[in-house]
Amino acid sequence: MIKIYHNNRCSKSRCGIALLEESGKEFEVVKYLENIPSEKELKEIIKLLKIAPIELVRKNEKVWKEEFKGKELSDAAIITAMVNNPKLIERPIIINGNKAVIGRPTEKILEII
């Protein structure tokens, strides 16, 4: 089943939900600010996305700028930062089987559904 990591306050995330609804396919919504992914889950997501952990970070978030920007961080430290501050996780993330994309732009979702 398709899974979308969603933040309702994000317009791109809401667009992702709308696109999935229009597709008619079943999907599961994960409100990741409430149900924070574990380090293991984030590692799996990053592997599916085929990106480095830093590429999943929202670098314009206040917490990133104040606590992490300009520091040398290991991949493990970046993942821990996202678990401890889930606002840092880029969204929406859509997973379908062994494929995943960050839905920016929204049309990228079409590549995997």
What are the residue numbers of the active site?
Answer: 10
Does residue 35 contact residue 42 with C-beta atoms inside 8 Å? no
Q: Which two tokens stand for residue 77?
A: 């430290």
Q: What share of the chain is helix, strand, coil (3-state, %, to 5)?
A: 45, 20, 35
In whole angstroms, what is the distance from residue 26 CA to residue 40 CA?
25
Question: What is the bridge-based pairing of β-strands 99-102 and 93-96?
Answer: antiparallel
Q: Is 97 left (phi over 0), alpha (psi -120 to 50) or beta?
A: left
